[in-house]
Structure 1
Amino acid sequence: MPSTPLRRRRALALLAAPLAGALPWPVAAQERPLALVLGFPPGAGIDALTRQLGERIAPALGRPVIVENRVGAAGRLAAEHVKRTPADGSTLLVAPMAVMTIFPHTYRQLRYDPAKDFVPVAHLAEFGLALAVRADAPARTLQEYVEAVKRDRDMGLYGSTGVGSPSHFFISMFERAAGVSMTHVPHRGSADVMNALLGGHIKAAILTVNDISPQHAAGKLRALAVSAPRREATLPDVPTFKELGHDIEGSFWYGAYAPAGTPAPVVQRLSQALVEATRQPELRAQGAKVGLQLTGGGPDVLARVQKADHDRWGPAIRATGFVAED
């Protein structure tokens, strides 16, 4: 007959077995760090936000949190990686809107399905774009800019952060709304766009509010309109496109996703930690300084926004005839 200590260990094991399913996530996963994976390099805006969130959710989750920068293919490599990871709560994808709503329209053979391969966890933040010209440009308002473009096609030379970027497609929407034809000059990043505009190589730029607002405040650029539904705190004197009679708007966002199949209690626990972190006043204030509005929406909010933006951007993308190279 087994000894008393052995019988006791067996009894405890039997008692613990039913409780294992009630844990927030599998014990093996809980013992590992939580990896927040993003497809952009250190120093990018999404990287800074992810690291700050990681610092704040680690104590709430009772486990280390690390940030993995899997750079490449505008965020697609990171999505492909997270798709293949175990659905046990040990890995989350932190992605910009384009990865989940625009790329499905632009790539013929996307190697992940946003709707099938991921589970929404949290809507983290949103930000807007601004259309700007040099401070010495002849156009002081958006209407004057439209008239200038109609008179002189060179005034329609505008820069963005790349072909197939949200800013590229937003200007496509603006062209149709304003009845103008502009010429897209893609660049590798916002710094290149800014240098080209300040150097006079292009006549306008569509960049994030964070990129435009310091140069607008310094008097080097003139922001003409912002894409968000409401005016931006860092550009309070700049109207929205809708205010100016153009029925277009665009709020861009960051979201967190888990691999498909992650248990609902695990998703809820991770979501709760992220949402609570985004609601901390200090982090919200830091975000506001760089044009980020921290939103803190749960899985249902992220799923709803993702579906709405997927449907809304489809026509704008198809109108350009753009197809991305794999």
Structure 2
Amino acid sequence: MFRQLKKAATFAAAVLATTTLVSTAQAADYPEKAITLVVPYGAGGASDLAGRALAETARNYTNEQPVVVVNKTGNGGMNGARYVTEQKPDGYTLLLSRVGMALYPAVYTDSPVAWDDYTFLGILESTPMILAVNANSDIKTVDELLAKIKSSNGATTYAASGPTAIDGFTVQALLADADLDPLSASTLVPYKGGSALAAALLGGHVDFLAIAAGSLMPHIEAGKMRALMVYAPKRMDALPDVPTAKELGYNLAGQVDGWSALFAPKDLPEDVVAKWKDILSNVATNDQWLDLAKKRGSVSVVGDQDPAAFVKSQYELYNGMAKKFGYIQ
């Protein structure tokens, strides 16, 4: 009996050792095939541009394996996010995350994906939001805009994807900071996508907006829009004279910022996590990545902060605003 138990224990140990060696070898060889990078929003938007920039740059450090971008849209980005969380945690399906992955579950209690249903690989970039008006507007400052809003009794309009989208919260946070009703002081006019939002302002269909810099910078540089304020930790190099919300003393608005990150399914093996940390450390100093970030109005922040702690803080920020503004009872 003792001999049988000893033999069984020896066999189990051998199996465990073999499994460990195979697992280690697989991780060491990762990646051995193409990696799918899911972008949960449409082509041409800020997330898509960030995803394609990462794919183009990261392939220099992925054993020559391609990183293939796939757009899976719908439900505020949750369709793509849910798809990734349901995949095998082997490092071959990743998510180009945006602020919506923290914001959506912060606002909707029935969100199909929780904010922490991922392995967090890294925060990639800060994508500043810009408060802007049409260049033909007589409004030159944030104070002038707020004065107009106060006197309009809700008649001023702004374009946004929706009240609980990031570009809705940009405006509502500012209104709340100015002691105005975030839901009624100005009227939200919904549009889908950055290009449609920008077109609404260019066409004079709305009075102002506050959306991602990537969608506005070409029009600002062309002299067709006027930037009033930047939602970012610091001033943008391309707009050195435009103050940040924090500089102007707006507490809630000063915490709002767009961002891109790289997520994976939960329980990704530590060796694969380590591999991606190494890949991202190379991406962080890659001239191509830095140049593409600059061109789309973003600031690379790869390696600057703990991704899990950052995403948690973002979830708490928007969950707090959702409760304050009455979206969650």
Taking structure 2 as the reference length, the TM-score comes to 0.85
Give the deviation of 1:36 after TM superposition.
1.0
Distance 1:149 1:112 in 2: 36
Count residues in correspondence: 307
Matches within 5 A, 1:140-155: 140-153=140-153
SS of aligned partner of 1:314: helix
SS of aligned partner of 1:95: strand
AA aligned opposite 2:107: T
Distance 2:134 2:250 in 1: 22
Distance 1:66 1:198, change over 3 A: closer
Give the deviation of 1:69 after TM superposition.
1.6
- Structure 2 residue 258 is the aligned partner of structure 1 residue 252: yes
Matches within 5 A, 1:283-294: 283-294=289-300
Unmatched runs of 5 consecutive residues or more in structure 1: 1-12
Give the deviation of 1:275 after TM superposition.
3.2
Unmatched runs of 5 consecutive residues or more in structure 2: 1-14
Distance 2:215 2:96 in 1: 21
Quote the residue 1:130 is aligned against: 130
Matches within 5 A, 1:257-296: 257-296=263-302
Moved more, 176-185 or 81-90: 176-185
* Contact 2:97–2:260 (Cα < 8 Å) also in 1: yes
- Aligned Cα root-mean-square deviation (Å): 2.4
Distance 1:14 1:162 in 2: 52
Distance 1:139 1:14 in 2: 70
TM-superposition CA deviations, 1:264-304 (whole Å, max 9, x none) = 11111022213311321232122112211111128x71111
TM-superposition CA deviations, 1:127-184 (whole Å, max 9, x none) = 1111111222222111111112222236631111333211211211111111232221
Give the deviation of 1:16 after TM superposition.
6.8
* Contact 1:161–1:207 (Cα < 8 Å) also in 2: no
Quote the residue 2:195 is aligned against: 191
Q: Percent identity?
A: 27
SS of aligned partner of 1:92: strand
Give the deviation of 1:58 after TM superposition.
2.6
Quote the residue 2:113 is aligned against: 112
Quote the residue 2:68 is aligned against: 66
Counterpart among 212, 221, 234 of residue 216 in structure 2: 212
- Structure 2 residue 316 is the aligned partner of structure 1 residue 311: yes
SS of aligned partner of 1:312: helix
SS of aligned partner of 2:137: coil
Distance 1:313 1:292, change over 3 A: same
Give the deviation of 1:26 after TM superposition.
8.1
Taking structure 1 as the reference length, the TM-score comes to 0.86
Distance 1:93 1:155, change over 3 A: same
AA aligned opposite 1:157: T
Distance 1:87 1:40 in 2: 22
AA aligned opposite 1:183: T
